[in-house]
Amino acid sequence: MTPRLIPVTPANLSPTAHELEASWDALTAEELRRRGSLKWTVEPGVIGAWVAEMDLGTAPAVTAVLEHAVRDSAFGYTSPVLNQALREATARYQREVHDWRVEAEDVLALPDVLSALRAIIARHTPEGSAVIVPTPAYMPFLRIPGELDRELIAVPARRTRVSADAAAGWALDLDAIEAAMAAGAGLLVLCHPWNPVGRVLTHEELDAVAALSTRYGVSVFSDEIHGPLVLDPTLAHTPYASRPGTDPDLTFTATAASKGWNIPGLKCAQLVVSGEARRSWESSALSRNLSNQGAGIGAMATIAAYDEGREWIEAVRRYVRATAGEVEQVLSAAGVGVTRPEGTYLAWLDLSGTAAAASPARFLLERARVAVNDGVTFGRGFESFARLNLAAPRPLALETASRIAQALA
């Protein structure tokens, strides 16, 4: 019997975009602090703009499923039937939204993306081989290789500029990645869309990575949890594994509804793996035992998000995109270099040449009462940068930008 999900009814699951935006605009810092998340409990009076979670709640369909689970006390271990429903929903979402043909049986339910990465480094790369991480990078990607006694090869991004008056962008340094692969590295960690710089990698970039992976026999771990959050309407997320030159035997794709639908605490990520990579995964108890270990309540929420939460996340993308534009205007006028995200809800701020350059997070916490992530935590060479979370009520995001601008002035 298929697990029962709450019926979809237009009355409670289909607010208009205008209604959603009004409800988001009405949220206050006091209400967000009352909810007690990590992001908002640094210390009193501080605006939380650091942890990569949204202040915008989740899709009504997800809320309805969770309320239904609470009424049913559905807190037990995850059943094979529910795991199968999750696999099918993931494959369906990837096919219908990202045009990636995924077999449901190639989807594994894991507690989180980082547990998959740990297992892959420990059991599915050559013993003692180095791990390549393009920087700036999501902080745990820089920490985990060393925790597993592996060398980290950090490859700083190349600065790019598409026109003389455009803000500087970021691109993979493919030459440096190739050199690291040629020297014997065992894994490339690809973050796509790229946290913290917000890049949506192009087909050309993905194909270049695939060609290098095949040439040197180096596996690629593609973290695509921000895939549902492409903000630029002219762009679309293309899963790395969907490109024709990608070798499935060397590819691990991690995804989740955690960022797009704001449910990271429900502990349910998906790993898509096939071919020899899947056989290798199953051959190790460390990784095999992670399979089907996502939380049951997280699986229910994920199915609802993928199947019934698509209109809601489209409203989120429009809202965050508009917020990003207004925040950029305020900060740029204050001398901050802003990399507006193509994907993710994270802005990458260049504070070099400002009063905050020496220690951005400390300066902004003390002078602006805003909590951001320090650039140095994303890799060497980014000491004058900071990451700013834009997935906030727009009035609060603009207050954040104004506080920063005033502190710098």
DSSP-assigned letter for residue 31? H
Amino acid 20: pLDDT: 94
Residues 173, 322 within the same domain: no
Q: In this predicted model, what pLDDT tens digit does every residue of 42-85 receive, in sequence order?
A: 878 899 999 999 999 999 999 999 999 999 999 989 999 999 99
DSSP-assigned letter for residue 105? G
Q: Is residue 67 part of a domain?
A: no
- Tell me the residue range of the domain where 374 lies: 15-58+310-408
Residues 25, 43 within the same domain: yes
Residues 367, 389 within the same domain: yes
Residues 184, 134 within the same domain: yes
Amino acid 97: pLDDT: 97
Residue 11 has pLDDT above 90, yes or no: no
Residues 271, 373 within the same domain: no
Q: Is residue 282 part of a domain?
A: yes
Rg, C-alpha atoms of the chain: 21
Amino acid 15: pLDDT: 87
Q: Is residue 64 part of a domain?
A: no
The angle formed by the CA atoms of residues 275, 281 and 287, to the nearest 5 degrees, is: 160
Beta partners for residue 283, in sequence order? none
Distance from chain centroid for Cα 27: 23
DSSP-assigned letter for residue 317? H
Amino acid 7: pLDDT: 44
Q: Which residue has the tokens 């490859």?
A: 155
Residues 190, 45 within the same domain: no
Residues 127, 224 within the same domain: yes
Amino acid 13: pLDDT: 64
Helix 310-333 × helix 296-308 angle, to 10°:
80
Number of domains in the chain: 2
Amino acid 167: pLDDT: 47
CATH number at residue 343: 3.90.1150.10
% of the chain beyond a pLDDT of 90: 88
Residues 257, 354 within the same domain: no
Amino acid 142: pLDDT: 98
CATH number at residue 110: 3.40.640.10
Residues 286, 361 within the same domain: no
Residues 91, 120 within the same domain: yes
Q: Is the pTM of this model over 0.85?
A: yes
Report yes or no: 364 and 374 within 8 Å, Cβ to Cβ.
no
Domain boundary among 308, 326, 347: 308
Q: Is residue 3 part of a domain?
A: no
DSSP-assigned letter for residue 120? H
Q: In this predicted model, what pLDDT tens digit does every residue of 176-186 receive, in sequence order?
A: 999 999 999 99
Q: In this predicted model, what pLDDT tens digit does every residue of 151-176 receive, in sequence order?
A: 999 999 998 864 444 445 899 999 99
Residues 224, 341 within the same domain: no
* Mean of per-residue pLDDT scores for the chain: 93
Domain boundary among 292, 308, 324: 308
Q: In this predicted model, what pLDDT tens digit does every residue of 305-354 receive, in sequence order?
A: 999 999 999 999 999 999 999 999 999 999 999 999 999 999 999 999 99
Domain boundary among 258, 289, 308: 308
Residues 200, 341 within the same domain: no
